[in-house]
Structure 1
């Protein structure tokens, strides 16, 4: 499944949602404008093209037409066609990428109180795909209701519904592209989270997940860019930061709670990952409070 990769923040902003029927013989006109046009076909079929690429949007299918591209109808509707359409604004896609290549499990860098701007993130929107009416139709109907009675009181709920719709479409794209390697990657992540406080043991991981460690490590590396030990260290440092900020535990005690018995090794690892010793980090955070 091809997905549009969009940079966030900000989130895409809804401009307008519409609903209607296309009669047999009707055909979409040719145009190019600077908004996204997302079409959901409930019944029938709509025949479109975008920059020469043809799309037959049948019942239960959707298409996202991109800003700045020219689109139109490739031929008239053959049957009465029921559709929802959404116009929204957002910068042009970063790229188009196959959903199987999206690094769904790669963690986003942790934020601190020193950050003064939101970190760059990405969202993914199916370009041309099937959609489940039971999941998507409630959003479309509720958005249309809010659009038809738009007021200051309903503007924010309308945008929230739109964000929910986008999240549902992204979740659908992820679930349909979940490969065996990604499933195992997620299992390794869960294992590491559940075994955070115990010393790293490749053999134990093999026994718990019933796969050779080398294969598990390759799956995790493919989707996160980290080895199991690197990922575990990332989890340990995040947990240590939380304990330094919220408890009076000593550095040795915190090291033990995150599975590192050697306090000197814990201090070196913390300094490597954060640029400061645990005690310095605690003092800085306490001073900011």
Structure 2
């Protein structure tokens, strides 16, 4: 399934939301404007064409019409059709990407106090797909209610509800359309996070997740670029950096906190991952806010 890849921040901004029931014979007018038009069909079927590509948006489906593309109802409704529609503003999508090719699990580089600009991040929304209406209907209903009584007091909540809707849609994409390899990669990540402080044990990982370790390692490598041991070390060093910045624990104590009992090995690993020793890392951040 194709998803639209949008750069964030900033998050998309809600412009308007509506709810209506179209009677048989009604048909969407032709238009093109510089906003996104997101359509949710709760009952019936809506017939839409975008740049000569026709869609039948049936009950329990959604379609995102993109900015500056011509869209038109190519066929009138044949039955009562209940829809919600949302217009939101955002820059054009970077690309359309297959949901199975999204690298959901690759971690971003940990930010520091020296960062002056945010890391480039992406969000993904399905272009055209079926949805579980009960999961999204509360967001649509609350947004409609807030929009009808829009005020300075409700504006932030309205925009946050749109963000929550996008989270729900993106989560559904991950869970519904993800290949098994991606799901196993996520399971491997969860296992490593839960067992970060215990010695790495490939056999225990295999027995816990009920898949051969080599297969788990291939899945993790595919989506993170790292082996299980490399990913574990990355977790440990990320956690160690946080402790170095925010606590007065000794280097040896921090090594123990992240699951590395041998202090010399911890220092070598930290230097290999970061280019500096733990002491140098801490000293470089003293006095920064």
1:101 CA displacement: 1.5
d(CA) in 2 for partners of 1:217 and 1:17?
A: 45
1:25 CA displacement: 1.4
TM-score, with structure 2 as normaliser: 0.94
Q: How does 1:259-270 map to 2 (within 5 A)?
A: 259-270=259-270
Deviations 1:201-224 (A, max 9, x none): 323322333322211100101121
**Greater Cα offset, 257-266 or 188-197:** 257-266
Which residue of the partner structure matches residue 286 of structure 1? 286
1:105 CA displacement: 1.5
Which residue of the partner structure matches residue 57 of structure 1? 57
d(CA) in 2 for partners of 1:211 and 1:40?
A: 39
Which residue of the partner structure matches residue 164 of structure 2? 164
d(CA) in 1 for partners of 2:44 and 2:209?
A: 46
Give the secondary-structure state (helix, strand or coil) at the position aligned to 1:26. Answer: coil
Which residue of the partner structure matches residue 240 of structure 2? 240
Which residue of the partner structure matches residue 94 of structure 2? 94
d(CA) in 2 for partners of 1:179 and 1:61?
A: 21
d(CA) in 1 for partners of 2:124 and 2:231?
A: 24
d(CA) in 2 for partners of 1:277 and 1:188?
A: 29
**Greater Cα offset, 87-96 or 257-266:** 257-266
Which residue of the partner structure matches residue 181 of structure 2? 181
Give the secondary-structure state (helix, strand or coil) at the position aligned to 1:7. Answer: strand
Q: CA RMSD in A?
A: 1.6
d(CA) in 2 for partners of 1:209 and 1:245?
A: 34
Which residue of the partner structure matches residue 228 of structure 1? 228
Q: Aligned pairs, how many?
A: 289
Which residue of the partner structure matches residue 77 of structure 2? 77
d(CA) in 2 for partners of 1:47 and 1:157?
A: 32
**Greater Cα offset, 112-121 or 205-214:** 205-214
d(CA) in 2 for partners of 1:173 and 1:66?
A: 19
Q: How does 1:1-289 map to 2 (within 5 A)?
A: 1-289=1-289
Change (3 A) 1:203 1:153: same
d(CA) in 1 for partners of 2:187 and 2:12?
A: 32
Deviations 1:47-97 (A, max 9, x none): 001111110011111100001211111111111211111110111111111
**Greater Cα offset, 47-56 or 106-115:** 106-115
d(CA) in 2 for partners of 1:65 and 1:188?
A: 36
Deviations 1:104-152 (A, max 9, x none): 2221221111101111111110111112221111111111111111111
1:260 CA displacement: 2.8
Deviations 1:161-206 (A, max 9, x none): 1111111111111110233222221221122122222332323322
Structure 1 segments unaligned to the other structure (5+ residues): none
Structure 2 segments unaligned to the other structure (5+ residues): none
TM-score, with structure 1 as normaliser: 0.94
d(CA) in 2 for partners of 1:272 and 1:281?
A: 13
d(CA) in 1 for partners of 2:263 and 2:166?
A: 46
d(CA) in 2 for partners of 1:85 and 1:92?
A: 19
Give the secondary-structure state (helix, strand or coil) at the position aligned to 1:162. Answer: helix
